[in-house]
Structure 1
Amino acid sequence: MAPDSQRTPTGRPGAADLPLSAWRFVVWFGVVAMLADVVYEGARSITGPLLAHLGASALVVGVVTGVGEASALVLRLVSGPLADRTGRFWAWAIAGYALTVVSVPLLGLASVLWVAGALIIAERVGKAIRQPAKDTLLSQAAAVTGRGRGFGVHEALDQAGALVGPLAVAAVLAGTGGDYGPALLMLAVPGALALALVVWLRIRVPRPERYEQGGTATPARRTPPRRRDAGEVTRLPGTFWLYAAFAGLTMTGFATFGVLSFHLVTGGLLPASAVPVLYAAAMVVDAAAAVLTGWAYDRRGVVVLVVLPVAAAAVPALAFSATVGVAVAGVLVWGAVLGVQESTVKATVADLVGPGRRATAFGVFGAVVGVAAAAGGALAGGLYDVSVPLLVAVTAALQVVALGVLVVILRRARAARVG
């Protein structure tokens, strides 16, 4: 059998003349994500305690982290279509990484709540700028490797950084007596490495769409992409919109780690220095869940996502417990849910929408999920202050509705195969 650089799953001639095979591209792109994750996941692991240190309440933590996640997702409604229209996927990806790796070290210098909140949101805006373009670039190579496996391996590498970052932050916090400044400033080093590597990868493979095309198109000059009309986004497939509704519902009933860590620290369950360690453990679970569900998705299809609302419903019931062991278990389940959301859920979007509108689809999908993230962060923070049992009940109800939407999607898929 020919290697992945020679032949696609459909049997077409592969991109043999590209300097990197599809799998190597996926792995190197994963290393970029890994280094970036050292930066922003290291920072996110202490977001709740940092904001609390600066005087934030649970509601403020929920709003800031929820708006941050919303910014990372809703703004993709702009960056996705613009990436499709310009065709400059690499430029958008590099610009987004640059904003993230600058914002996090500056957070280490913040001593005022609103400044810290603004930098947390700015870091998430960087993700909004790069993510539709980055996902599109990755999906082009993953068309050769298998989308579930490609996105899964990428997420696993990504989460290796999410493991190292929080552990490094925890070590610096322990060594400085809980001083957040040095812990965040040292993240400038992996940030610079991530930026240098993504620029190198762009130079090596300027046109990764050739992976998906089978390497057959080798024009001397790039053809400018067709400009899309503003209404074209509405012509995304109907199943895509239903799938976006499913993902949005699961995210609405999903608390941010900022709220979870707030509970752990203010509830006296863990010291602030231990929270990044627990976050790192959750990222290990995230990586394992991404690879396993990605492999299962390539074999079984969308049905594997039944696990998503079921696991998400269990998170608040466990994580907001007053018992340390149960709360820790809840955070680990939270990590598994995140792994599915960041890999297999994205792989499905790439399979639902063709390459010409894929960045737009990723952007729209991110916008839908982003609104849900904002609602979920504020909902979790607000209900936590009122009643944890009520928070658990509301989350469970939302996940039941999400499961119902997924059942409709599965029935439509089955009917399409029969037809």
Structure 2
Amino acid sequence: MQENKGKLSKAMLFILLMGIVSMFSDLTHEGATGIRGAYLDLLGASAVTIGFVSGLGELVGYSLRMLFGLFTDKTKKYWPITIIGYTVDLLAVPALALITENGWRWAAALLIVQRMGKAMKKPAKDTILSFAATAEGAGKSFAIQEALDQIGAFLGPVLVYLVMKYKSGSPIDIYRAAFAVLAVPAVVTLFLLLFAKRRFPNPESFEPEPKEYIPFRIKPSFIVYLVAVSMFAFGFIDFSLITMHASKTMLFSDAALPLLYALAMLSDAAAALICGLLYDKKGIKIL
């Protein structure tokens, strides 16, 4: 939607700004995703441990989203919760560069803390984004957000690849350098987030007053959807295990591991933009 011809609305500017925030955020933690399994293996963790830590991180992350979502709804402190969540999420990643040899327990703890930060920020961030999406179209708004998000998820592994390719030293020193470099996009993310808060302190103003309040009710179709998603997740193999296996079997070099993840994220970005635009036209059947 445009307020004047050739001029973006404030809602769209907010959507784009938050999309750029997500881009740098994903550049940080998705940059780490491509190598965290191999890193845990290098630090002495077994395959069982890596699988358990990865699963526990996902469990903690998704379970806490409900609690933080309820807390966000109750307090309406959208920006503070978003900023705190982003801070925890992002700073846990470069902190992996501080782990010493055989310190896989500390690395595992940081990975779980990172998921906790993501769980904290996600409900609040999605809520403030939904305010602007109401004015601009949900499909288009979240498609833009997801596309920028996945561009960051593509660039992060590429950045890590370049560091690991040209950094000299022992394997653990190379991994530490890769994690340390990710502190740069992490700081950029927090700076942009604070700028967004200052520029748009009340994003809820984008959302028009509802004509009537419709309470949420769990429908049978929603339960079927949850079961389907659960079955999908049940058969999902975390990328940490894939990278650990690829590293141990020397199927790919350590430096090439992030590129595998980057390729997956690039395809995700393209699909998100296309499917989001189609959703506005075709509705839920696009799913």
Give TM-score, length-normalised by structure 2: 0.89
- 2:241 aligned to 259, 262, 275, which one? 259
**Structure 2 partner of 1:185:** 180
Change (3 A) 1:211 1:4: farther
Q: Distance in 1 between matches of 2:182 and 2:197?
A: 23
Q: Which of 98, 109, 116 matches 1:109?
A: 98
Report the CA distance shift for 1:236/1:94 in structure 2 as closer, same or farther (over 3 A). farther
1:96 aligns with 2:96: no
Conservation of the 8 A alpha-carbon contact between 1:36 and 1:161:
yes
Could you tell me how far apart the structure 2 residues matched to 1:160 and 1:195 are? 18
2:30 equivalent in structure 1: 41
Q: Counterparts of 1:346-385 in structure 2 under 5 Å?
A: none
Pairwise CA RMSD? 2.1
The 5-angstrom pairing of residues 74-153 of structure 1 reads 74-111=63-100, 112-153=103-144
Distance 1:64 1:287 in 2: 27
Shift of 1:302: 2.1
Instruction: Check the 8 A contact 1:27/1:154 in 2, yes or no.
Output: yes
Amino acid at match of 1:292: I
Separation of aligned partners in 2, 1:244 and 1:299: 24
Work out the CA distance in 1 between the residues paired with 2:24 and 2:222: 31
Q: 1:241 and 1:26 mapped to 2: Cα distance?
A: 30
Partners of 1:57 and 1:148 in 2: how far apart? 42
**What corresponds to 1:195 in structure 2?**
190
Is 1:210 paired with 2:205?
yes
Question: In 1, Cα distance between the equivalents of 2:87 and 2:59?
Answer: 19
Task: Give the unaligned 5+ runs of structure 1.
Answer: 7-15, 216-232, 306-419
Partner of 1:343 in structure 2? none
8 Å Cα contact 2:89-2:115 kept in structure 1: yes
CA contact (8 A) 1:4 1:144 kept: no
SS at match of 2:92: helix
Q: Residue 276 of structure 1: CA displacement?
A: 0.4
SS in 2 for 1:213: coil
How big is the shift at 1:144? 2.1
Say whether residues 1:277 and 2:277 are aligned partners: no
Distance 1:59 1:45 in 2: 18
Partner of 2:218: 237
Local SS of the residue matching 2:93 = helix
Aligned position for 2:250: 268
Amino acid at match of 2:190: L
1:120-168 per-residue CA deviation (whole Å, 9 max, x = no partner) reads 1111111001000111111111122221221111011011111111111
Q: Which has the larger radius of gyration?
A: 1
Give the match for residue 291 of structure 1.
273
Task: Select the structure with the greater relative contact order (CA < 8 A; seq sep ≥ 6).
Answer: 2
Contact 2:25 2:185 in 1 (8 A): yes
Deviation at 1:252, TM superposition (A): 1.8
2:94 and 2:144 mapped to 1: Cα distance? 28
- For 1:7-64, what per-residue CA distance to the aligned partner results, in whole angstroms no more than 9, with x for missing partners? xxxxxxxxx9xx9622211111011011111111111110111011112222221111
Q: Structure 1's 297 and 72: CA in aligned 2 closer, same or farther, altered over 3 A?
A: same
Q: Give the TM-score taking structure 1 as reference length.
A: 0.62
The one-letter code matched in structure 1 to 2:164 is L
- Percent identity of equivalent pairs: 38
What is the match of residue 155 of structure 2?
164
Q: Residues 20 and 298 of structure 1: is their aligned pair in 2 closer, same or farther, counting only changes over 3 Å?
A: closer
CA distance in 1, matches of 2:232, 2:13: 33
Asked if the contact 1:5/1:22 (under 8 Å) is kept, the reply is: no
CA distance in 2, matches of 1:161, 1:26: 16
Q: Distance in 2 between matches of 1:297 and 1:20?
A: 21
User: 2-side partners of 1:281 and 1:188: how far apart?
Assistant: 23
Task: Provide the residue aligned with 1:356 in structure 2.
Answer: none
Once the two structures are superposed, the pairs formed by residues 60-75 of structure 1 within 5 Å of their partners are 60-75=49-64
SS in 1 for 2:207: helix
Output one character per residue of 1:82-126: Cα deviation in whole Å (capped at 9) or x when no partner. Answer: 000000111111001111222111111112010000011111111
Aligned partner of residue 108 in structure 1, secondary structure: helix
Q: Deviations over 1:179-198 (max 9, x none)?
A: 11111112111111111111
* Aligned pairs, number: 274
The secondary structure found in structure 2 opposite 1:301 is helix
Contact 2:2 2:9 (C-alpha < 8 Å) held by counterparts: no
Q: Give distance in 1, aligned partners of 2:277 and 2:50.
A: 36
- Tell me, in whole angstroms, the C-alpha distance in 2 between the residues paired with 1:88 and 1:242: 32
